[in-house]
Structure 1
């Protein structure tokens, strides 16, 4: 905010300088005219100083305003992006943001890292493969977080065929 005292000082100094200029017309003594001109110059210099300070403050306010507009635009842009996703539980305590089908706009279905999402970053999870327990294994490349989607499936132990003769060999 521009300091109003600077603007007030500017106006006051200029008004006083004008008043001095009017009185100089009526003075006939050259030494008094010089004194009044010097006084008027000092007031004009003071007014210029106040004007420069006010201009500097105004420039700072304009810069702050531009920065705030930029931040507000970034917040609005992220809000539009974030509204396209919903947090979903993929089982086994694994959560991720998933693209809502009605907001796809031609993009294929995908999932976003919840850690990056909370930091206002759109980081697509990359499918790595399936685990031995039939979970989908995804990785977030930027934050290196691993995600295992789906409940763990226990696989039956492989059947061992044992012949009678090999069974009794150990006894």
Structure 2
């Protein structure tokens, strides 16, 4: 962009220089018109002033176009930065199937982290929006068993997750000595 800024600043300087030259020429033409000269010279001076005014109006139009071009460049640069930021953000997610018939995006898991994965809505992901799925209760589906209903907080689409697919971080043995980890569910009896 530095090259484009250089070009735009040179155009701006040129337009400013042209504006100054036009203003000087208009002043000189008015001085000639005020001199006591014959009618033909005054008439030609008046024509010259009209043409200089036209040039000055064109120069102002060019300045307006230049301002619009600068604004568009800034807008495009901001859009490019947003796309680059989204590309970096999107690269940290992978497509994941928590249950037959359900596809969502989840944060990529790494061996050196102890964080639970984050699940995001695929509809919102395709629109370059990160919307985290929130659990809204258990659902019992014939043939599928019990599933967790995960809902997008933005578009309100729901996704079923196999309870086992929600990988809760299990503590290491040395973190909670003496505590048992079981599959016991007091609500499922």
Where does residue 93 of structure 1 map in the other structure?
101
- CA spacing shift, 1:105–1:51, aligned 2, 3 Å: farther
State the 1:107 CA deviation.
6.1
Task: Give distance in 2, aligned partners of 1:92 and 1:134.
Answer: 13
Where does residue 159 of structure 2 map in the other structure?
147
Q: What is the TM-score when the length of structure 1 is the normalising length?
A: 0.65
Aligned match for 1:137, one of 140, 149, 156: 149
Query: Highest CA radius of gyration, 1 or 2?
Result: 1
Report the secondary structure of 1:122's partner residue.
Answer: coil
Task: Give distance in 2, aligned partners of 1:105 and 1:73.
Answer: 28
**Relative contact order, higher structure (CA 8 A, sep 6+):** 1
Task: Give distance in 2, aligned partners of 1:147 and 1:92.
Answer: 11
Match runs of 1:1-171 below 5 Å: 29-102=37-110, 108-132=116-140, 133-150=145-162
State the 1:108 CA deviation.
4.3
CA offsets 1:20-61 (integer angstroms, 9 cap, x no match): 96xx7xxx9532331232122112101101101111111221
Task: Give distance in 2, aligned partners of 1:30 and 1:144.
Answer: 84
Greater shift, 32-41 or 68-77, is seen at 32-41
* Structure 2: runs of 5+ lacking an equivalent: 1-14, 164-189
Q: Which runs of 4+ in 1 moved over 3 A?
A: 104-108
- CA spacing shift, 1:32–1:145, aligned 2, 3 Å: same
Where does residue 178 of structure 2 map in the other structure?
none
Task: Give distance in 1, aligned partners of 2:126 and 2:150.
Answer: 18
Alpha-carbon RMSD across the aligned residues, in angstroms, is 3.3
Q: What is the TM-score when the length of structure 2 is the normalising length?
A: 0.60
Query: What is the number of equivalent residue pairs in this alignment?
Result: 135
* Structure 1: runs of 5+ lacking an equivalent: 1-6, 152-171
